[in-house]
Structure 1
Amino acid sequence: MTRSRRAIALATIAVSMAALAGCSASAVGSTSGAACAPEDIKLIGQVRNETNPYEKSWLDGGQELAESLDLEQKRLTYAGESPKQLEQIRQELSTGNPECMVLNVLPNSDSDTTPIVKAVEEAGAHVVTQWNKPADVHPWDGYDSWIAHITYDGVDSGYQIAKAMFESMGGEGNVIALQGILATAAAKDRFAGLELALEEYPGITLLDQQAADFDRTKAFDITKTLLTKYGADVGGVWAANDDMALGALKALDAAGLAGEVKVVGIDAVPEAVQAIEDGAITATVSSDGPWQGGIGLAMGYCALTGELDVTAQPNKNREFFAKQFLVTEDNAADYLTPSIDLADFDCANVFNRVDKALG
């Protein structure tokens, strides 16, 4: 599939359906009833920061999709500051033509999702949110511009990495846990997965748990403190993401314990996957950051060009757990270089990774 072929094909569909060269309220196929010429569509990806390699891979995936469509993706980062995130979005919505704008957004916390989607709804733009939202708020609850919410089964991923670590410890020993941002569903669910695994392995004891906010530096500092407190009693470090796992690994190295203490994380960033290959980390879970970065933009693009009628989709396609994959030494080589398959973003394929509905 070439860039020009796909862009031209979708442009032809949009023109034939809507007879437009821009946006109109009379066309069909999108959540708001508007359709846009492909070249008029503005793509925006927003994450906390690009120092986190997983979040950088998200924006890289969005850029690769954008380039395949002869478009650009605007990369926004808000440094984990909720007011800044919302202000960035409002600023974008106030410029240009929001009716031809697609945002693929990582809300900073569950409570940030509602004001984000309300701002997008008011401006007439389109948005896909990922990871965080209140459990009782849904895209089909009166929102015309909220295309979908995508997340991953955090309980399952937290459980999978815990089980892999416990098995590597022979089912016996003590562990410490590094939680993420406690106001997010991802952090809560992943820790719940750890707790489930602990119930199944009575020989494993959780010595301590601290919130390191998905941040490598905080994880390094906290792990140093906990190693000082518990010393050689620590046999494993469970981390709610790879960035924290890598911070813990650095602290273990500084304490002369690298290779003696098991470490697990989530995200399958290249540095962590390489550490799995090298035997320094036991396991991680891939949610496929590059795919996440592209899929939200692809959904919006297909809706705005008239090739995807979002309102005709069942609820399970508008709010879902996407497929995820456990990465261990047995398959780490397959995950060393994150990449995307542009076929995943064809309009007929955008729901191919729906694993199960939320709840």
Structure 2
Amino acid sequence: MRKGLLCLLAVGLVMGLLLAGCSTESALEQEEKKPDQDVTIGLSISTLNNPFFVTLRDEAKKTAEKEGVELIVADAQNDTAKQINDVEDLMEKNVDLLLINPTDSKAVSTAVESANQSDIPVITIDREAEGGKVVSHIASDNVKGGEMAGEFILNEIGGEGNLVELQGIAGTSAARDRGKGFHEAVDGKKDVKVVASQPAGFDRAEGLKVMENILQSHSDIQAVFAHNDEMALGALQAIRSAGKDILVVGFDATDDAVEAVNKGEMGATIAQKPGEIGKIAVRVAAEAAQGEKVKEFYPVQLELITEK
């Protein structure tokens, strides 16, 4: 009887070890079969020929490394057709989510809709898309920024004088909204007149050229508002060459512009904090790519930068 009991215990022990072995192997197999948690994000940026977007890109890359996600960057070079092709290329690389900084808010709708059809979430940064479904938008309040610039100019010129507006790329939400805020601040003022509003493509060389032409047509100008710092710096160069003393206000707070402000060469610039936009964009993208709920809009605070 005792011998039989010992045999049963021995068999039970062996069976237990075998089951434990099978259980361990099954757990290992399950671990190996867990879904891949790696996230790949595609970033289509309007241009890297602008310090603002270089800063945005650089901070996005740093944040991607910290978050453990892969970031693939494509430079559209301010070419709408190239951006649409870039987005298609990123989709073919099986990105989990697209971050898009539109070259043109209306034209980019085609790319957004294409991503929608492929079930790839899209987040826009700095500039909005006019069509397609976007899960979130990350940007500063450009209308408020334009208004801040206009109010600063009015205060500096004593509420009277002729103004010039250098507009960004037509079709971008940034240009539209900054211009809207500026005009809300200055239009209707009895002794203030905007004598010229011309596009200069968010570009320094173009800002120089356009401002030179404006100065030939209008000799009496008190202030210039440029939709970005690159155009503001171009305008400043034209003003210097003409031997004029005109207040210049830009937008973006790039390093060159802040330096010009601190030297007293530019009156002010609106700090939009591109690094913060890039950082928030990647963090929100990583969350959205993994199915987490994100907010429709993440505002980034603005700041008026004047001489220290």
Q: Do the two structures share a fold, i.e. TM-score over 0.5?
A: yes
**Higher CA-based Rg:** 2
CA offsets per residue over residues 120-156 of structure 1, 9 Å max, x none?
A: 222333321121222xx574xxxxxx43123333222
1:264 aligns with 2:249: yes
- SS of 1:112's equivalent in the other structure is coil
- Per-residue CA distance 1:38-82 (angstroms, 9 max, x = gap): xx2213222222121111111011111012134443221111111
- The higher-RCO structure (CA 8 Å, 6+ apart) is 1
CA shift digits 1:6-36 (9 cap, x unpaired): xxxxxxxxxxxxx8332xxxxxxxxxxxxxx
Percent sequence identity is: 27
Indicate whether 1:329 and 2:303 are aligned: no
Query: Which residue in 2 is equivalent to 1:123?
Result: 118
Identify the residue that residue 295 of structure 1 maps to in structure 2: 280
Instruction: Return closer, same or farther for 1:62/1:226 CA change in 2, 3 Å cut-off.
Output: same
What is the rounded CA distance, in whole Å, between the counterparts of 1:298 and 1:149 in structure 2? 13
Q: Is the 8 A contact 2:229 2:269 kept in 1?
A: yes
SS in 2 for 1:291: helix
1:183 equivalent in structure 2 = 171
**What is the TM-score of this pair, normalised by structure 1?**
0.71
CA RMSD of aligned residues (A): 2.1
Aligned to 2:8: none
Q: Measure how far apart 1:321 and its partner are.
A: 4.4
Local SS of the residue matching 2:88: helix
Q: 1:281-337 CA distances to partner (integer Å, 9 max, x unpaired)? A: 11221221112122222112123345x334xxxxxx21464432222225xxxxxxx
Kindly indicate whether the alpha-carbon contact (under 8 Å) linking 2:139 and 2:277 is maintained by their aligned counterparts in 1. no
Give the counterpart letter for 2:265 in structure 1. A
Moved segments of 4+, more than 4 Å? none
Match of 1:239 among 226, 235, 259: 226
Tell me by how many angstroms 1:212 deviates.
0.8
Distance 1:200 1:62 in 2: 41
Q: Which runs of 5+ in 1 are unaligned?
A: 1-18, 23-36, 140-145, 311-316, 331-359
| Contact 1:58/1:293 (<8 A) preserved | yes
Shift of 1:94: 1.1
Q: Which residue in the other structure is 1:77 paired with?
A: 75
1:194–1:215: structure 2 CA closer, same or farther, 3 Å change rule?
A: same
Q: What residue is the counterpart of 1:352 in the other structure?
A: none
**Count of equivalent residues:** 276
Task: Describe how 1:5-154 pairs up with structure 2 within 5 A.
Answer: 20-22=34-36, 37=37, 40-95=38-93, 97-98=94-95, 101-130=96-125, 131-134=127-130, 137=131, 139=133, 146-154=134-142
Distance in 1 (CA, whole Å) between partners of 2:298 and 2:69 is 28
Deviates more, 1:235-244 or 1:319-328: 319-328
Question: CA–CA distance in 2 between the matches of 1:200 and 1:320?
Answer: 32
- What is the deviation of 1:157? 1.1
Aligned to 1:16: none
Equivalent residue number for residue 236 of structure 2: 249
Aligned to 1:342: none
Structure 2: gaps (5+ residues): 1-32
Whether contact under 8 Å (2:116, 2:132) holds in the other structure is no
